C-alpha cells in the first residue's frame, strides 16, 4: 500500500526503523575510536553513488541499509579524535538529536511569531554574550563563517560607500578599499568579488614574522590610498588565522579604525569563542571591539554543520542593509506575522532551525564547561608544540598560536622537505592513524595540526608524536 502523503503507511514500522537508526548513530559515535580517522572509499561504493535518479519506491529499510553500508564507514573523519586537519569541530550527539528535532518541527526561520524564532534570537544573543559584544548588538545565524563574513562585509560596504548602494549599485560609489592581512581567509576574497568590489579592492597587508598584520604598513597603505583618491572603507582583522592561529592586534586596530573612520570587522571564525575559555580568553583580547564579528559555532562549540553567526554592533545599520518590504510578508498587529522578520538581517528568506543544535548543547553542558573544553584545545596545541620542539628531527614554526601547530620534519632544502612531509601526511591518512593537513607560509611548507575537536585528548597528541617519530 502507498501512503497518499509522504508519511509512513505503518507508523509502528517506521518507529521501529527510526529507533534502530538512532541506535546505529549512537553506536557509530560511541565506537568512533575503534575506526580509522579516515579511509578511502572502494570503487564499488563510488559506483553506487553514481546511479541515476530512482523512479520507483524502495522500502525504507533498504534505503537505510544502503547508507549503513556505503555512508557510515566513509565519513570525512572530523568527528574522530585524531582528525587534526583544517579547522573543524567534532559535532556532538545532542546536536544531532537537535537537528532531528528541528526537522520534525520543520519551522522556517525567515521569521514569524513562533518558538523556534525566539530560540533563534536567543542563540544569537548567547553568541553575543559569549564574545562580549555589547547589549543591543544584532546578529543572524548562517551556514558558516564564510557566509557570516559575507553578511558583515555587505553591511560594511553599504555603510561606507557614501551612496545608497542598494538603490544605485556599487558603480555609483567611489572606489572603496578594504584591508586585511596577507593571512586572511579566502572567503573574504570571494566576498569582495560577489559584492562587486573586485579583488583589487582588498589590499593585503604584509604580516610581521609572527603572522600578525603589520599595523605600520596598514597605516601607510591607508594614507597612500587616500592620497590616490580611493576611499578606505573597512579593516578586516583576523582573530585566529587559518594557517597558523595568529591573532591580529585587535585593540590597536580598533583604535586605528576609529581614528580613520573605517568599519572594523573581525573574522573570529577560529578565535572568537576562545573568549569563553576561562584560562585562555586573554589570547583574543579585543575580540568584542569590532563593528561586526563573524564566529563559527560549528567549530569550537562543536555544533554539527552548519552553523555560523554574524554579529553587528549597530542593529539599525545591519537591518538597513537587508530589510525588504514585500507585499506577501506584511507584518500584522497579532498572529503569526506579528514579529519582526528575521530575513531582514541576512540574505536568506527561508532559513532552517539551525539554532536548536546550539541551544540544546549549551543548555545541556552550560557555557562554563564549553569554555573549559575550548581551553583544553589550546593546551593540546601547546603540548604538541613543546614536545615536537624537543624531538630531534622536527621543527615547529615560530608564531603559530591558539590551537594550531605548524611543524615539519627537518630536511636539507624546501623541495625535499616538502615532498617528505607531504608523504608523512598521506601515510598517516592511508593508515587512518591521524589526519593532518598542510599549508605554505612565506614560501615555506609546513604540516599543520589544528585542535578543535572536543574528543581529542593528550593521549592523542602523544600518539601523533609516536607516529611522526616512526615515520621519521
Ligand atoms: C579564519 C576563518 N575565516 C573563515 C572561515 C570560513 O568558515 P566556514 O568554513 O565555516 O565557512 C574559516 C574556515 O576555517 C576560517 O578559518
pLDDT in tens, the chain (472 residues): 778 999 999 999 999 999 999 999 999 999 999 999 999 999 999 999 999 999 999 999 999 999 999 999 999 999 999 999 999 999 999 999 999 999 999 999 999 999 999 999 999 999 999 999 999 999 999 999 999 999 999 999 999 999 999 999 999 999 999 999 999 999 999 999 999 999 999 999 999 999 999 999 999 999 999 999 999 999 999 999 999 999 999 999 999 999 999 999 999 999 999 999 999 999 999 999 999 999 999 999 999 999 999 999 999 999 999 999 998 999 999 999 999 999 999 999 999 999 999 999 999 999 999 999 999 999 999 999 999 999 999 999 998 999 999 999 999 999 999 999 999 999 999 999 999 999 999 999 999 999 999 999 999 999 999 999 999 8
Q: How many domains does the chain have?
A: 3
Asked whether residue 457 falls in the same domain as residue 386, the answer is: yes
DSSP state of 41: P
| Contact in structure between 271 and 247 (CB atoms under 8 Å) | yes
Do 10 and 157 belong to one domain?
A: no
- Summarize pLDDT for 435-447 with one digit per residue, the tens: 999 999 999 999 9
Does any domain span residue 252?
yes
The most distant pair of C-alpha atoms in the chain lies apart, rounded to whole Å, by: 76
Question: Is residue 296 lining ligand 1, measured as CB closer than 6 Å?
Answer: yes
User: Do 390 and 357 share a domain, yes or no?
Assistant: no
- On whether both 144 and 230 belong to a single domain, the answer is yes
Domain match, 239 and 383 both = no
Ligand 1 atom 8: residue of nearest CA: 145
Is there a single domain that holds both residue 163 and residue 44? no
Q: Does any domain span residue 375?
A: yes
pLDDT of residue 399: 86
Is the domain of 337 the same as that of 358? yes
Beta carbons within 8 Å of 100's beta carbon, 6+ residues apart = none
User: Do residue 355 and residue 429 come from a single domain?
Assistant: no
| Judgement on whether residues 391 and 453 belong to the same structural domain of the protein | yes
Residue 90 lies in a domain: no
Residues 184, 262, single domain; the answer is yes
CATH number at residue 271: 3.40.640.10
Query: How many angstroms does the Cα of residue 142 sit away from the middle of ligand 1?
Result: 12
Confirm or reject: Cβ of 310 under 6 Å from ligand 1: no
Cα 400–Cα 259–Cα 244 angle in degrees, nearest 5: 10
C-beta 87 within 6 A of ligand 1: yes
Is residue 87 included in any domain, yes or no?
A: no
Q: At 436, which CATH number?
A: 3.90.1150.170
The answer, yes or no, to whether any atom of ligand 1 lies below 6 A from the CB of 145, is: yes
Residue 312 in 3-state DSSP?
strand
Q: Cβ(93)–Cβ(29) under 8 Å?
A: yes
Q: How far is the CA of 296 from the centre of ligand 1 (A)?
A: 8
CA distance 404 to 439: 12
Instruction: Indicate if ligand 1 lies below 6 Å from the C-beta of 267.
Output: yes
Asked if residue 149 and residue 197 are part of one domain, the reply reads yes
Is residue 432 domain-shared with residue 454, that is, in the same domain?
yes
What pLDDT was estimated at residue 295? Answer: 98
Q: Which domain holds residue 465?
A: 368-471
pLDDT digits (tens, 9 = 90+) for 272-318: 999 999 999 999 999 999 999 999 999 999 999 999 999 999 999 99
From CA 293, how far away is CA 287, in angstroms rounded? Answer: 8
Amino acid at each position: 500500500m502507498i501512503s497518499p502523503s509522504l508519511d509512513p503507511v505503518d507508523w509502528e514500522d517506521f518507529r521501529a526503523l527510526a529507533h534502530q537508526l538512532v541506535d546505529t548513530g549512537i553506536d557509530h559515535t560511541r565506537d568512533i575510536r575503534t575506526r580509522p580517522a579516515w579511509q578511502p572509499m572502494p570503487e564499488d561504493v563510488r559506483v553506487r553513488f553514481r546511479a541515476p535518479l530512482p523512479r520507483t519506491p524502495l522500502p525504507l529499510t533498504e534505503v537505510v541499509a544502503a547508507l549503513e553500508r556505503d555512508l557510515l564507514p566513509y565519513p570525512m573523519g572530523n568527528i574522530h579524535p585524531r582528525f587534526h586537519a583544517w579547522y573543524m569541530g567534532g559535532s556532538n550527539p545532542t546536536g544531532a538529536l537537535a537537528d532531528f528535532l528541528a526537522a520534525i518541527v520543520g519551522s522556517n526561520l525567515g521569521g514569524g511569531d513562533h518558538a523556534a524564532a525566539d530560540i533563534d534570537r536567543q542563540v544569537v544573543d548567547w553568541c553575543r554574550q559569549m564574545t562580549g559584544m555589547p547589549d543591543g548588538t544584532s546578529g543572524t545565524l548562517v551556514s558558516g563563517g564564510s557566509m557570516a563574513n559575507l553578511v558583515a562585509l555587505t553591511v560594511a560596504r553599504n555603510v561606507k560607500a557614501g551612496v545608497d548602494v542598494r538603490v544605485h549599485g556599487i558603480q555609483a560609489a567611489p572606489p572603496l578599499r578594504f584591508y586585511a592581512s596577507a593571512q586572511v581567509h579566502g572567503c573574504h576574497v570571494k566576498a569582495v568579488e560577489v559584492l562587486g568590489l573586485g579583488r583589487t579592492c582588498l589590499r593585503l597587508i604584509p604580516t610581521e614574522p609572527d603572522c600578525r598584520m603589520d599595523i605600520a604598513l596598514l597605516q601607510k597603505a591607508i594614507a597612500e590610498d587616500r592620497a590616490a583618491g580611493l576611499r578606505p572603507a573597512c579593516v578586516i582583522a583576523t582573530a585566529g588565522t587559518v594557517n597558523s592561529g595568529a591573532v591580529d592586534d585587535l585593540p590597536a586596530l580598533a583604535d586605528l579604525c576609529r581614528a580613520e573612520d573605517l568599519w572594523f570587522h573581525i573574522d573570529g571564525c577560529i578565535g572568537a569563542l576562545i573568549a569563553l575559555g576561562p584560562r585562555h580568553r586573554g589570547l583574543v583580547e579585543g575580540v568584542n571591539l569590532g563593528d561586526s564579528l563573524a564566529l563559527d559555532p560549528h567549530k569550537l562549540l562543536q555544533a554539527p554543520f552548519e552553523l555560523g553567526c554574524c554579529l553587528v554592533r549597530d542593529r539599525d545599520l545591519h537591518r538597513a542593509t537587508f530589510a525588504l518590504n514585500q507585499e506577501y510578508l506584511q507584518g500584522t498587529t497579532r498572529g503569526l506575522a506579528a514579529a519582526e522578520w528575521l530575513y531582514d538581517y541576512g540574505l536568506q528568506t527561508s532559513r532552517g532551525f539551525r539554532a536548536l543544535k546550539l541551544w540544546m548543547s549549551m543548555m545541556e553542558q552550560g557555557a562554563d564547561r564549553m569554555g573549559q573544553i575550548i581551553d583544553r584545545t589550546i593546551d593540546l596545541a601547546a603540548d604538541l608544540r613543546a614536545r615536537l620542539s624537543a624531538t630531534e628531527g622536527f621543527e615547529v614554526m615560530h608564531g603559530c598560536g591558539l590551537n594550531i601547530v605548524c611543524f615539519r620534519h627537518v630536511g636539507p632544502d624546501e623541495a625535499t622537505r616538502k615532498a617528505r612531509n607531504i608523504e608523512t601526511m598521506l601515510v598517516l591518512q592511508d593508515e587512518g592513524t591521524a589526519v593532518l593537513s598542510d599549508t605554505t607560509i612565506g614560501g615555506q611548507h609546513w604540516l599543520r595540526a589544528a585542535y578543535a575537536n572536543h574528543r581529542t585528548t593528550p593521549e592523542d597528541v602523544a600518539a601523533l608524536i609516536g607516529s611522526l617519530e616512526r615515520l621519521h
